[in-house]
Amino acid sequence: MPSDLLISPRCRAEHLGLPMPDSTHAVSACLPLWAHNIGYEEGDLAVIDQLQAAYPRFCLHPFVRTLISRTCNETGCSGFVFPSANAARRALDYLIWRGGKSGILVPVPQQTAVAVQVQSDELPMLKEYWQHAGEVLSSRSAERMLADQYVAYSDTDARKTVRQRVANLQNVQPLDVWLYPSGMAAMAAAWRAVRAGDAQNASVQFGFPYVDTLKIQQRFPPARYHFFPTGGEEDIRQLETILASQSISSVFCETPANPLLTCPDLRRLRALADQHNFLLIVDDTLAACTNLDVLSYADLVVTSLTKYFSGYGDVLAGSVTINPASARCQELRDALNCSHEELLADVDVEVLERNSRDVQQRVATINSNAAAVATMLHSHPAVAQVWHPSLGSNPAYDSLKRPGGGYGGLLSVVLKNPETTTQPMFDALQLCKGPNLGTWFTLCCPYTILAHYGELDFAESCGVSRWLLRISIGIEPEQELISRFRQALECI
C-alpha cells in the first residue's frame, strides 16, 4: 500500500533515499537531514547509494541507467539515450560546441530513441545537455524498452486532453500549445525559437532564475547574455541603457521567480520589447497554473507541467504557449513547428492527464495554506525573512492576478542566526524533505545548497542566501502545517 505523505511524511534519517511519492517513477527522493543534502552534492556514496529515486535531469533512474549500459556498451564509453534522433543530434551538436570529439549516434533497436555514445571523459559535457535542455528519456519509456515494448508518441485522447487543459488555463486554443518531455525541454524549445530569428544578439536574463534557464544562455550558442539578478527598477534602467546602444534577441524572466518569488514589471518589459523588437519569454511555473495571467504580456510562456499541473511528483512534462496576439506570432509558430516533435511518451501523457484533473481545486487549497504559513513564519521571532507574494505590497504580482487567483504555494525562508539555527530546524521538521515543488504534499529543501552548491558565493552576491529554505506547500490541513513548522522552530 503506497505511503500517504500527508499523514506520514518522509522526513527522518531512516527515510533517506525513499521515493516521494511512493512510486517507481517518483521524481524526488527524501534527503531528510541537512548533512544528507551536503553529502548528495559532494557525491558521498553513503547518500547516493541510498537513493531510490531522483530528479531525472540530474540523476539517472535505474531503468534509464540500465538501458544506457545496454546501448552504449563499448569499452571505455558511456552516454545518454534520447527519445529521438533529432534530440540526439542536438545533444551531439552541443557536445561538439563544447569541445567534445568522441560522440557517435547509436540507435536503440526497434525504437525511435537514439543514444549519444562518448568516451567516458566527455560524459560530463554530454550530461550538461541532458540537464540543461531536458530532452530526457523518461523512466516509463526506459522500462518499456527494457521489456522490448515499443514506446509510442502518438496523438492519443490523453494528449489532446492535456493540450486542451493547458490551453484552457492560458485562455488560448490547443494549436497554441506545444508539449515537451520536461519543463527545461520546453525552455530549450523556446530558446531554439528565439535563435531561429536571431542567432547572434545577446539574450537577457531578467531576475534571478532557476539555474538551468541561465545555463542555457551561458552555454548554448552564441553564449552571449546579460544577467540582471534582482529584476527590479534599477535593472530596468540598466536594460534601457543597453538597448540605447545595442540590439538584444530576447528577455527571459520568471513570474514569480524561483526562489525569491519576486515579480518583474511585465508591462515595462512588454513596452521595451515592442519598442526594440526583442522577444519576451516568461516562465510562469510558480504562478501555479491558475493564479496569474502573464501570456497577455509575453510572446511565449514556458511552464513546467511537472510541478503544479501534475501535482503528484511522478511524471516530467512541460509546455510552451504562444501568445496569438504577439506581433511575431507567425514567426514563432513556424520556428516552434520546425523543431517540434512529440517527445512526451504516451505512457507519460496518460499519467499527466490523470494527475491534472484536479489542478484547480488542488491549487486553491495550496494557495490558502501557503498564505497562512507565510503569515505565521513572517511573525515568528526566530525568522529573519520570508519571501511570498502575499506578504507586503506587491503591485507587480497583483497587476497580473486573475479574478479569484491567489499567491501560489512556494515560499522561501531564512532564519535569524542561520549558521547555527537552520540545520537543527530543518532536521527537526516533520514534513517531506527533498527537491521538487508543486506536489500535493509539502516539500522543504535547502534550495541554494542543492541548486548552487558549486557557486554559493555567486548565489549570495545575487541576494540568495546559502541558508535559504525553500518550502513548497501542499494540501495538508492548515493548522497541522502551522503546528509542524512551530514545532521545528522550537528545536533551535
Q: What is the pLDDT of residues 423-442, one digit of tens each?
A: 999 999 999 999 999 999 99
Q: What is the pLDDT of residues 438-491, one digit of tens each?
A: 999 999 999 999 999 999 999 999 999 999 999 999 999 999 999 999 999 999
> Domain 62-133 belongs to what topology?
Alpha-Beta Plaits (3.30.70)
Quick one: pLDDT at residue 324?
Answer: 98
Residue 346: all three cell numbers together: 504516451
Quick check: 396 and 263 in contact, CB under 8 A?
yes
Domain with CATH 3.40.640.10 in the chain: 157-357
Peptide bond into 21 cis (omega under 30): yes
At the top level of CATH, the class of 157-357 is alpha beta
Quick one: pLDDT at residue 137?
Answer: 98
The 3-state DSSP class for residue 53 equals: coil
User: Is 46 exposed, middle or buried, given 0-12, 13-18 or 19+ CB atoms closer than 10 A?
Assistant: exposed
For residues 479, 368, 448, 466, the Cα torsion angle rounded to the nearest 10 degrees is: -60
Terminal Cα-to-Cα distance of the chain (whole angstroms): 35
Residue 322: all three cell numbers together: 504562444
Q: Alpha carbon of 116 to those of 95, 130, 407: distances in Å?
A: 10, 11, 42
Does residue 121 have a pLDDT over 90?
Answer: yes
Report the share of the chain in percent with pLDDT over 90: 97
Quick check: 456 and 211 in contact, CB under 8 A?
no
Quick check: 328 and 279 in contact, CB under 8 A?
yes
- Cβ neighbours of residue 346 under 8 Å, at least 6 residues apart? 151, 152, 153, 154, 156, 158, 159
Quick check: 214 and 192 in contact, CB under 8 A?
no
Q: What is the pLDDT of residues 310-344, one digit of tens each?
A: 999 999 999 999 999 999 999 999 999 999 999 99
Quick one: pLDDT at residue 1?
Answer: 42
Residue of 431, 418, 304, 311 whose CA lies nearest to 362: 311
Say what the pTM is: 0.96
For residues 65, 67, 70, 76, the Cα torsion angle rounded to the nearest 10 degrees is: -40
User: Bridge partners of 204?
Assistant: 226, 251
Residue type, 28: S
Q: With bands split at pLDDT 50, 70 and 90, how would you rate the model's confidence at 54?
A: confident
Taking the C-alpha atoms of residue 9 and residue 429, their distance in angstroms, rounded to an integer, is: 10
Taking the C-alpha atoms of residue 426 and residue 451, their distance in angstroms, rounded to an integer, is: 17
Does residue 2 have a pLDDT over 60?
Answer: no
Transcribe 230-241 into DSSP letters: S-SHHHHHHHHH
Residue 139: all three cell numbers together: 523512466
Domain with CATH 3.30.70 in the chain: 62-133
Quick check: 431 and 190 in contact, CB under 8 A?
no
- CA-angle at 313, arms to 171 and 154, nearest 5°: 60
Q: What is the pLDDT of residues 353-369, one digit of tens each?
A: 999 999 999 999 999 99
